[in-house]
Structure 1
Amino acid sequence: MFSLDGKKALIVGVANDQSIAYGCAAAMRAQGADLAITYLNDTAEKWVRPLAEELGAEIIEPLDVSHPDQEAALFDVIRETWGQIDILVHSIAFCPKQDLHGRVIDCSAQGFELAMDISVHSFLRLIRLAEPMMQHGGTCLTVSFYGSEEVVEDYNIMGPVKSALESVTRYAAAELGDKRISVNALSPGPLATRAASGIAHFDAMLAAAAKRAPTHQLTRTEEIGAYAAFLASDAARNITGAVVKIDGGYSIMG
């Protein structure tokens, strides 16, 4: 039904083979995309590089979005290697533990600023860097969660942060539509990833999610990847500004 042959995809956020970003990378590679995969730091590299090599990634580079020079360096490599980019997948989020585990009203200014910078503004920065290399259009994807819309116990400050992420997705989609660049957010149900494990009482959240969802199943990373690959294809070129639920119906239940 669709192909990503010849498309160049930058995947940001792979930590291990359970990562949403890895699911997206694997699905896009299976549909023919060429991959650039980043790792956070030297510690992460030993986990990420073997996965990237297994997927045949042509570019494997460090990227800590709290260091703008690394963002610029990454896109310099992409420009020199490919000269273009067609797909951007942003699957990163962070909040200091003391702020993540506390009440929203107790979140420190520093923690709030850091969470917004890494989880939200980094998406805008990466889009801005990708835009000049999306001469023939492109797709930008990020990852949200239902806690952006409704209060989810223990999700805390990440709820408002994800709300902001969804809002910038819509505004970026409006601004880039005439360049045939789509911007969408994937919104999976709770699933066992390394990043999500930092949430307090996360095992209980997973169990509650499986019970609540009409399918009584947790979302799998390969399901998220399959939807991401579709959104990155020409078949989905008129879908933009959407927050796509991939959650077994979790979000429809009262």
Structure 2
Amino acid sequence: MSNSFSLHGKRGLVVGIANEHSIAYGIAKTIREYGGEVAATYLNEKAERFVRPLAEGLGCPLIMPCDVSKPGELESVFDKLKAAWGTIDYVVHSIAFSPLADLHGRLVDSTAEGFGVAMDISCHSFIRMAKLAEPMMPNGGTMLAMSYYGAEKVIDHYDLMGPVKAALESCVRYLAAELGPNNIRVNCISPGPILTRAASGIKDFDELLTVASSRAPLGRLATPEDVGRLAAFYIGETGNNITGNIGFVDAGYHVRG
């Protein structure tokens, strides 16, 4: 983006920062670099000691706990946003979770409980976030979720999360259709594999990284900052006519099929 690109006057929420390697942190940092304001969340007290210094370094005026599996926590975040800002321009959902026993096994062996937990945290929480954000975007806005190519094609060892991310991408399209009349754009970013704490839970993830970088036309992997630049594009005026889109940031890996 050119030097004239700016997110000044844009303010919103980024959920999912865990440490300095998080995709969510790359997004939040890029938004701040372009002049936008960021409210951030951390999962729990254990995570707070890693997240708070990063969020304070970005000048986040609101740093709040948010475990979407705990009743009321996501709602509390939006109550605080409303009290502080009244309205927001964007939300970024960058969280996913599956119990390891279900994630590391075959999909056919997954439990109903494990599948339900993965779907609730990784997918339905985005729907809940959209419902809470909608009334705070009277002049329109942007909602972003994070996906992965395993939603479209079978990726070894991605297993349970493939169907969950496919559901998330479908939700993005349906939310885009429902919220479009209110000038709210809903999009998904699909990075290639990035070594984050969450991704390290995937079996043989190092092998996945090697394969992706070797097969990508550009011969490299994406970074959280790469994801951040596309997020900024969607949030800014540049993204005003884009909704229901799945934007790949994977050095072209997805074109290999």
Specify if TM > 0.5.
yes
Output the amino acid matched with 2:42: Y
Report the 3-state secondary structure (helix = DSSP H, G, I; strand = E; otherwise coil) of the residue aligned with 1:240: coil
Q: Aligned equivalents of 1:36 and 1:67: distance in 2? A: 20
Which residue number corresponds to residue 115 of structure 1? 118
Offset at residue 34 of structure 1 (A): 1.0
Which residue number corresponds to residue 102 of structure 1? 105
Offset at residue 7 of structure 1 (A): 1.1
Seq. identity, %: 54
Output the amino acid matched with 1:86: D
Report the 3-state secondary structure (helix = DSSP H, G, I; strand = E; otherwise coil) of the residue aligned with 2:72: helix
**1:35 equivalent in alignment to 2:38:** yes
Q: Could you tell me which of 146, 158, 181 is aligned with 1:178? A: 181
Which residue number corresponds to residue 5 of structure 2? 2
Which residue number corresponds to residue 90 of structure 1? 93
Offset at residue 150 of structure 1 (A): 0.5
Residue deviations 1:6-62, cap 9 Å, x none?
A: 111200000011111001101111111111000000000000000000000010000
**1:156 equivalent in alignment to 2:171:** no
Which residue number corresponds to residue 50 of structure 1? 53
Q: Could you tell me which of 201, 219, 232 is aligned with 2:204? A: 201
Q: Could you tell me which of 185, 191, 195 is aligned with 1:192? A: 195
**1:143 equivalent in alignment to 2:143:** no
Q: Aligned equivalents of 2:94 and 2:75: distance in 1? A: 18
Q: Could you tell me which of 75, 91, 94 is aligned with 2:78? A: 75
Runs of 4+ in 1 over 6 A off after TM superposition: none
Instruction: Count residues in correspondence.
Output: 254
Q: Aligned equivalents of 1:187 and 1:79: distance in 2? A: 29
Q: Aligned equivalents of 1:193 and 1:185: distance in 2? A: 18
* Cα RMSD after superposing both structures: 0.7
Gaps of at least 5 residues in structure 1 are: none
Q: Could you tell me which of 209, 228, 232 is aligned with 1:225? A: 228
Output the amino acid matched with 2:121: I
Gaps of at least 5 residues in structure 2 are: none
Offset at residue 215 of structure 1 (A): 1.1
TM, length-normalised to structure 2: 0.98
Output the amino acid matched with 2:89: D
Offset at residue 68 of structure 1 (A): 2.7
